[in-house]
Amino acid sequence: MRHVCPVALRSERELKAALELLRLVSNWKSASVLVDGTPASPWQIERVVTCALQKCRKGPEQRAHHCDGGGRPDDDAAPVRIPCRQFAAYDRSAVEWWRFGKMAQGVFHVDRKAAHEELRARTDELGCGWCPGLELRRMKKAVARLPGRIDPMAEGSEWSPRKAGSRVVGVQPRTRTNPATSLSFTIGLSGADRDHEDPGVPPISHDGPTYADIGGLEEPLRQVRELLELPLRRPEVFQHLGIEAPRGVLLTGPPGCGKTLIARAVAREVGASFHAVTVTELLSKYIGESERHIRQLFEQAAANAPAIVFLDEIDAIGFDRGTARHGWEVGPLTQLLGILDGFRALEGVQVLAATNRPERLDPALVRPGRFDRIIEVPPPGLEGRLAILRLHTAKMPVAGDVDLRALASASEGFTGADLRALCQEAGMAALRRADGVHGDDNAERWGHAALEKLAVTQRDFSAALAVLRRGG
């Protein structure tokens, strides 16, 4: 049986619906996607729709420069600027335009046709050709403005001979500071081997808690907001001051204290996509696969900037390299360090990591320029536990005899996750007390009048506290 689901993309709501549909069917071998009747790859169209949705969510000023990936003008001073954010996001092995051509009698003849064909081929490969915002005629004009011949030996030439051994095979710019020579065709990322969503890369999340949903973590939350919010909201402030924003923030503390909650809340409040992964999910038994998963994670974040990458249990790959027994064990850490050092390529991406074993981390990981900001997230104190209990009981039918402050005092040493479990268990205790688990399931039993009488009492909380102290 064949099902056809036509989708018209005219608004942000329709783009979101299309994106959810594409992600749903992307792993179905029997699924096919047609754009104006022409077959297209689901993952390519997903990328284009994601980019269009990201553009919709921006303000008018940012939206105007979304496609060019940063707002640099496409004028005569930058003759090879290709107006496509997807190309910029996935450029990992750029092939510069001045590599197309050949030397003849000491002069390099630029092959504009070959450069344009290669660029078009990679456009199709990435799926960018399906984007209505990519003007192919504009791209062709940019290639046509390239110089036809370059004499590297001419006086004052900005080019020098490029050699392979002792033989001159081409030219290369003497400096990369000149915009006419430094910009490149952003060519890379082959999607030929992508048959399914890679399990090593987590799904993207745009939802999460707000600051109002976090209790007992005021000081850690304040510090994280200072380090992450401003770089994501106002990166131009750091550019004006001539300084770099903090590259990585490391959260330390026992499990269940709210480290992930803080990261998700900041992402939600600043409108950033959230890419959370437990580091062990990136590891593979095949040499080189772990490193590939790490690269894909950051490429995904860069394509959906502004973004926050959250690496939980980072000690799984960030352990002291001096303790490694095999050389391949340090490969994932080396890859992560390389990405952090090359952070300029990930504009609009902030990195958070968490561990409850900071003493295991390699010193290179926490040096300045990497995870140089360390914030401790301790178990909540009395007032913190009280705030968390108030949050979790806000929507519960709590009886008048419940004393939350007494519960907060009796739950010393509990983390935020423990307190959530306490409230859950208290609710189940109230249900058991009403024989709701084994009683008859009928409308009269669970009518409005019956539900009005059902409430969680102090006795239920005391029973839940005893269960948790026994270990469940």
Domain for residue 462, yes or no? yes
| List of E strands, 174-306 | 248-252, 273-278
User: What number is the average pLDDT over the span 196-207?
Assistant: 48
Residue 472: pLDDT over 80: no
Cβ 132 vs Cβ 15: under 8 Å: no
- The proportion of the chain whose per-residue pLDDT surpasses 90, expressed as a percent, equals 15
Q: Which residue has the tokens 């300029």?
A: 344
Cβ 214 vs Cβ 258: under 8 Å: yes
* Domain count across the chain: 4
- Total residue count of the chain as it appears in this document: 472
Domain for residue 425, yes or no? yes
Element (H, E) at 307: strand 307-312
Domain for residue 261, yes or no? yes
pTM score: 0.53
pLDDT of residue 72: 43
Domain shared by 243 and 338, yes or no:
yes
Domain shared by 21 and 106, yes or no:
no
Return the closest-CA partner of residue 188 out of 90, 266, 103: 90
Domain shared by 255 and 401, yes or no:
no
pLDDT of residue 40: 67
Q: Which amino acid is at 214?
A: I
Least confident among 169-173, 193-197, 215-219, 463-467: 193-197
Domain for residue 234, yes or no? yes
Cα–Cα–Cα angle for 326, 329, 333, nearest 5°? 140
Cα–Cα–Cα angle for 431, 435, 440, nearest 5°? 115
Domain for residue 329, yes or no? yes
Q: Which two tokens stand for residue 346?
A: 């990930």
Cα separation, 119 vs 95, in Å, equals: 10
| pLDDT band, residue 81 (cuts 50/70/90) | very low
| pLDDT band, residue 20 (cuts 50/70/90) | confident
pLDDT of residue 320: 84
Domain shared by 268 and 231, yes or no:
yes
- Please say which residue of 329, 361, 376 terminates a domain: 376
Domain shared by 288 and 146, yes or no:
no
In Å, the largest CA–CA distance within the chain is: 96
User: What number is the average pLDDT over the span 395-401?
Assistant: 90
Domain for residue 241, yes or no? yes
Q: What 8-state DSSP symbol labels residue 172?
A: E
What are the angstrom distances between the C-alpha of 324 and each of 316, 319, 327?
12, 8, 7
Beta bridge partners of 307: 273, 349
Cα separation, 353 vs 375, in Å, equals: 10
User: What number is the average pLDDT over the span 81-95?
Assistant: 50
- Please say which residue of 376, 408, 436 terminates a domain: 376
Higher pLDDT, 130 or 256: 256
Domain shared by 274 and 340, yes or no:
yes
Question: What is the SS3 assignment for 25-83?
Answer: HCCCCCCCEEECCEEECHHHHHHHHHHHHHHHCCCHHHHHCCCCCCCCCCCCCCCCCCC
Domain shared by 149 and 32, yes or no:
no
Cβ 402 vs Cβ 433: under 8 Å: no
Higher pLDDT, 339 or 438: 339
Domain for residue 440, yes or no? yes
Q: Look up the domain containing 276 and give its range.
A: 211-376
| pLDDT band, residue 315 (cuts 50/70/90) | very high
- Tell me the pLDDT tens digit for each residue of 262-293: 888 887 887 778 888 889 888 888 878 888 88
| pLDDT band, residue 348 (cuts 50/70/90) | confident
Burial of 179 (0-12, 13-18, 19+ CB in 10 A): middle
pLDDT of residue 26: 59
| pLDDT band, residue 403 (cuts 50/70/90) | very high
In this structure, are strands 167-173 and 248-252 parallel, antiparallel, or unpaired? unpaired
- Please say which residue of 376, 407, 423 terminates a domain: 376
Domain shared by 16 and 91, yes or no:
no
What are the angstrom distances between the C-alpha of 406 and each of 256, 314, 419, 461?
22, 37, 13, 11
Domain shared by 240 and 155, yes or no:
no
Domain shared by 450 and 404, yes or no:
yes
Least confident among 111-125, 150-164, 324-338, 441-455: 441-455
Domain for residue 447, yes or no? yes
Domain shared by 230 and 348, yes or no:
yes
Cα separation, 306 vs 302, in Å, equals: 8
pLDDT of residue 78: 37
Domain shared by 367 and 388, yes or no:
no
Residue 406: pLDDT over 50: yes
Mean pLDDT score of the chain: 75
